Structure 1
Amino acid sequence: MEYTGKLTDKNITFIKEFILLGFSELHNFQRVLFVIILVIYICILLGNGLIIVITNVERALQTPMYYFLGNFSFVEICYTSVTLPRMLKNLWNQKRHISLLSCAVQLCFFLILVVTESFLLAVMAYDRYIAICKPLYYPLIMNHKMCVQMVIGSWVTGIPVIIVQTYQVFSVPFCGSNKLDHFFCDMPPLMKLACGDTFRTEFFIFVDCFLFALIPFLLILFSYTRILQTILKLPSITGRSKAFSTCSSHLTVVCLFYGSGFIAYFQSLSSSSLGTDKIISLFYMIVTPMVNPLIYSLRNKDFIVTMRKLFSTYI
Structure 2
Amino acid sequence: MDLRIFTEPQQGAGYDTLLTVAKATEDLGFDAFFRSDHYLRMGSADGLPGPTDAWITLAGLARETKRIRLGTLMTAGTFRLPGVLAIQVAQVDQMSGGRVELGLGAGWFEEEHKAYGIPFPKEKFARLEEQLAIVTGLWATEVGRTFDFHGTYYQLNDSPALPKPAQAKVPVLIGGHGATRTPRLAAQYADEFNIPFASIEDSERQFTRVKAAAEAAGRRADDLVYSNALVVCVGKDDAEVARRAAAIGREVEELKANGLAGSPAEVVEKIGKYEATGSSRIYLQLLDLDDLDHLELISSTVLPQLNRA
TM bucket normalised to smaller: under 0.3
Relative contact order (alpha carbons < 8 A, sep ≥ 6): 1 or 2 greater?
1
Task: Please identify the structure whose Cα radius of gyration is greater.
Answer: 1
Q: Whose strand proportion is higher, 1 or 2?
A: 2
TM (norm. structure 1) is 0.25
